[in-house]
Amino acid sequence: MTNAGLRVRAALSRAVAAGVREDMSREDGQRIRLLNGLALLGIVMACAGHMGTGRPLDPALLAHLGLTVGGLGAVFALHARGRPRDAALVFHVAVMTSIVVGSWTLGLDYGNFFMLILVAALPFLLFPSREPTAALATALAASTCLAVLVYGWDLDGDLARRVAQYGPNQYLHQGLLVAITLLVGYGSRSFNAMAAADLEHERAKSERLLRSVFPEEIGLRLQAGEQEIAERQGDASVLFCRVIGLDRPAEGQTPEAYLARLHAVFAAIDRRCAEFGAEKIKTTGTSFVAAAGLPVYRPDHAEVLVALGLALRDEFAATPGIAVRIGVNSGPVVAGVIGQVRPTYDLWGDTVNTAQRMEMHGLAGEVHVSPLTFAKINHRFECSGREGVEIKGKGAMKTYFVRGARKAGRAP
C-alpha cells in the first residue's frame, strides 16, 4: 500500500474511532464506531448522489447537500465531546431531514425514501439499551416520515389516483408499513441484546475462572493480553501445609465420600486464605502452598501467613483423624506464569525450598518457622526455639514453633 493510501486509511480509522475512550464499555465503543462509520458512509453517499443528479450547481440541491453533510459531520464533533446520545439523535434527524428534503427536491422517482426503512430500524442498534424511549421515538418518527412520503404527500401528482385505487385500505397499508418497520428494528435490537448478554456472561465466567486460578493482579494482567509474567519479589513469605490423615481413603470408604471430605477440608483452607488475605498458589495431593507479599507487596507478609497457620492448626485440631503440619519461611521469591495450554502461577527460589523443609521437618499440629520468619513475627507471636534441626542444603539450623499470639505487655 502506498504512503497516500496508508494516510487515508489512518485518517478513516481516526474518524471512525472519534469519541471512543479506553474507560468505556466494549458495547458503547462498538456503538460509537458503528455510528461514526454510518455517518462517514452517509457523507460519501450524499456527495455521490449529488453528483449523480447531473445538477451539481442547482442551489436547492447544494443546500440539501450542505444540510446533509453538516448534520452528519456534527456526529463526529458530538462524539468527540462525549455526547453519544446527542450524536445518535443528530444522525437520525440529519438522515430523515435529508431524505424528506431530497424527495421534495427530486421527487419520489429517485427512490431515496426507501432508506427510511433502514433509518427506522437503526435506532434500536445505535441507541444504548438504557435509552429505549429515545430509540422508539426516533424509529416511530422515521416510520411516520416514510408513511407520509409514500401515502400522504402529493409529490408526484398521483395521490388522487392512489386514494381512488386503494380507498380506506391505504391507511391499513400505512399502519402495516409502520408496524413492520418497527418490528424489524425492535427484533434486531433484541437479537443484539441477547448476543451482548451472552458475551457478557461468557466474559464474566472467564473473569471468575481467572480469579479462581490466579491471584487477582495476575489474572487482570493475563486478561489484558500479557503473555510472559515473571517477577522477583525481594521480600515475601511462603507457607507449605500438609494435611495429615487424608493420604488415602479409610477402610471401606467410598471414593465419593473420600473426595467429599477432601473437598470440605480444602474449602475450609480456601476460606481461611481469603480471610487472612493470603494468596493460595497451588494444591498438590493433600498439600498446598500459600504466599503473602506477592504479587502485590505488603510489609506484614510473615505475620499474615503465621496467623493463617495458627488458624488452620486450631480449626483442624478439633477434627478427628486430621491434623496439619505447617512450615513458613521468608525472603526473596521469583514468581511467574508458566505454560500455554494450562498456564499456572508458581514460585521458585531458595525461600520456597526452605519453606518446604520447614513443613517436612515440622510436627503435626505445629506451625514451624525459619529464623528469617521468626525475626519478622517475634514481636507479635510467642515462639519456642528448636536447636540443631538438620535442613537439607542448610545444615544445622535453629528453628521455631509458634505457640500463639503474644499477650499484651509481654516483651519478646
Neighbours of 83 (CB within 10 A): 14
Q: Is residue 189 part of a domain?
A: yes
For residues 107 and 238, state if they share a domain: no
CB 340 within 8 A of CB 368: no
pLDDT at 158: 58
CA distance 67 to 98: 7
Q: Is residue 342 part of a domain?
A: yes
Task: Tell me how far CA of residue 211 lies from CA of 219, 222, 226, 279, 281, in angstroms.
Answer: 6, 11, 16, 11, 12
For residues 9 and 87, state if they share a domain: yes
For residues 206 and 257, state if they share a domain: no
Task: Tell me how far CA of residue 360 lies from CA of 116, 228, 367, in angstroms.
Answer: 77, 32, 11
Q: Is residue 218 part of a domain?
A: no
Q: Is residue 220 part of a domain?
A: no
Q: Which three cell numbers stand for residue 408?
A: 499484651
For residues 32 and 158, state if they share a domain: yes
pLDDT at 406: 83
For residues 269 and 190, state if they share a domain: no
CA distance 214 to 218: 6
Domain boundary among 157, 179, 210: 210
For residues 69 and 180, state if they share a domain: yes
Q: Are strands 230-244 and 323-338 parallel, antiparallel or unpaired?
A: antiparallel
For residues 126 and 163, state if they share a domain: yes
Domain that holds residue 250: 229-405
Q: What is the reported pTM?
A: 0.55
Neighbours of 355 (CB within 10 A): 31
Q: Which three cell numbers stand for residue 32?
A: 460509537
Whether the CA torsion 75, 80, 81, 83 is positive or negative: it is positive
> Domain total for the chain?
2
For residues 84 and 35, state if they share a domain: yes
Q: Are strands 366-369 and 323-338 parallel, antiparallel or unpaired?
A: parallel
For residues 152 and 242, state if they share a domain: no
Q: Is residue 215 part of a domain?
A: no
pLDDT at 356: 92
pLDDT tens by residue, the chain, 412 residues: 577 777 878 888 888 888 888 778 777 788 888 888 888 888 888 888 778 777 778 888 888 888 888 988 998 989 888 888 888 888 888 888 887 777 777 666 555 666 777 777 677 777 776 677 777 777 778 777 777 766 655 555 555 555 555 555 555 555 565 566 566 555 555 555 665 666 666 777 766 666 666 777 777 777 677 777 888 988 999 999 999 988 777 777 888 888 888 888 888 888 999 899 998 888 888 889 999 998 889 999 999 999 999 999 988 887 788 889 999 999 999 988 887 777 788 899 999 999 999 999 999 989 999 999 999 999 899 999 888 778 787 788 889 999 988 876 565 5
For residues 239 and 190, state if they share a domain: no
Q: Is residue 302 part of a domain?
A: yes
pLDDT at 8: 78
> Helices H, strands E: what count in the chain?
14, 8
CB 291 within 8 A of CB 237: yes
Q: Which residues pair with 282 in a beta bridge?
A: 289
Phi, psi at 281, each rounded to 5°: -85, -50
- CATH number of residue 248's parent domain: 3.30.70.1230
For residues 185 and 241, state if they share a domain: no
Q: Is residue 378 part of a domain?
A: yes
CA distance 139 to 124: 8
Strands (E), 205-248: 230-244
Q: Is residue 10 part of a domain?
A: yes
pLDDT at 214: 73
For residues 244 and 146, state if they share a domain: no
